[in-house]
Structure formats: C-alpha cells, structure tokens
Chains A and B, each alone.
Chain A
C-alpha cells in the first residue's frame, strides 16, 4: 500500500517552459488536493478535486491547471512556468471517515 506518491521528486525549469506533476493515491479517496509550500507562507491550496472528473480552484490557482481523469490520479500543470512558481508542491488525499489528510513526499520545483 503506497499511499500517496508524487512524480517527479525534483525538477528545474526555465521560465516559459511547461510541465505536469503527477499525484497518485491507492486508498480510493474521492478528495485530492494540490498545495504549495513556501518559506514563511505555510501551505497554500492551489486546486482541489472532490471526485473523478471534477476540479475546483483553491487559494492560489493562477498559473496552474489541473485534471482528474481517473479517481486515483490528480495532475497539476504549469503551462508557462515563472520564477514565482519556485516552490515545493505537495499532493494530499482525504479519508472520508475522519477527514484525515494524507500527504505525498513532495516535488521540489525550481524555475530559473
């Protein structure tokens, strides 16, 4: 039982490049989230999904897009990366029984 996994673990992009971060969970959770973590800012919600085929904006959605084509996967896309998107990105899924969140190990992204 892998829980929540994220790929890649690290990535360096040049300004204007695009990429997709993949989050996968094997716990059959409906709700999944993408956060970014920046020094002094804590974790901030980018986008979330309450089920397959649905997505919604979080606190800081600009510059990001998401898709939830399969229940177990939640993809975060950067169409044109900017240095302000340098951050650590975390994915999480939520247990429906106690609303307990389970996090992936994170993706460290640097945009030059």
Chain B
C-alpha cells in the first residue's frame, strides 16, 4: 500500500530564507507527483505537477524535483515571503485518477 510522508509537519523560517520541503512515497511506480498549497480555511491550489519522465519543474520561485528510484520529491522555495505561509501537500496517483495525499507541512514565514 502506498504511503506518503511529509516531514517536518511544521516549519518556521525568517523572511528571505530559501527552504526545502520533503515528500517521501513508498511505491515508486507512479506516473506523476503533484504539489499543492492550502491556505487556512481554503481549498487546495495546484502548484506544480511533475511527470515521471521529468526530474524537475519550475514555476517562479518554486522548484519541485522528483526522484522515483529513491521515492522522494522536494519542493524548493527561494527567497521566502510571508505570503508563502500555508500548508504544502504532495500527492501521488492512486489507481486510475485518484490521489494519495501526504498530511502536509505547515510553513510559517516570519517577517
């Protein structure tokens, strides 16, 4: 059974710092991995989707990498800002079109 783990559960950093969020999965037979952002009381916003044939994807200050062989993905946030404060979730496919979600990392960027 697939398990998706995100460590740490919570992270606080000062504004301007670069940071890395981690996502581990036990079954490497995935065809993509998706990173989401969730603000308190809000829905999930898709940040990046990495196909299994790709090793990384970039969007603005965000860079996500995927290493299927080691069962790991990282989300790198450059020059963090207070507006980046949110919970970040990774998810891998489950069956045809469903997702296994990690429990998330709650990020706080301190001004």
Interface residues of A (CB under 8 A from B): 4, 31, 33, 40-43, 45, 48, 50, 58, 90, 92, 94, 98-106, 108
Is B59 part of the binding interface, using a Cβ–Cβ cutoff of 8 Å?
Answer: no
A7 to B31 alpha-carbon distance, docked (Å): 32
Contact of A98 among B42, B49, B101 (CB under 8 A): B49
Interface residues of B (CB under 8 A from A): 31-32, 34, 36, 41-46, 49, 51, 89, 91, 93-94, 96-99, 101-104
Q: Which of B31, B49, B89, B98 has the most CB of A within 10 A?
A: B98
* Residue ID in chain B nearest A58 by CB atoms: B98
Q: Which residues of A contact B96 (CB under 8 A)?
A: 50
Q: Are B44 and A99 touching (Cβ within 8 A)?
A: no
A104 to B34 alpha-carbon distance, docked (Å): 16
Q: Are A99 and B93 touching (Cβ within 8 A)?
A: yes
Contact of B101 among A42, A50, A105 (CB under 8 A): A42
Closest CB-CB distance, B98 to chain A, in whole Å?
A: 6
Q: Are B42 and A99 touching (Cβ within 8 A)?
A: no
A104 to B52 alpha-carbon distance, docked (Å): 26
Q: Given contact pairs A100-B49, A101-B99, enumerate 15 new A-B contacts (beta carbons under 8 Å).
A: A4-B43, A33-B98, A40-B103, A42-B102, A43-B99, A48-B98, A58-B98, A100-B46, A101-B34, A101-B44, A101-B46, A103-B43, A104-B43, A106-B41, A106-B43
Q: Are B42 and A105 touching (Cβ within 8 A)?
A: yes
Contact of A99 among B32, B43, B45, B102 (CB under 8 A): B32
A31 to B94 alpha-carbon distance, docked (Å): 14
Closest CB-CB distance, B50 to chain A, in whole Å?
A: 10
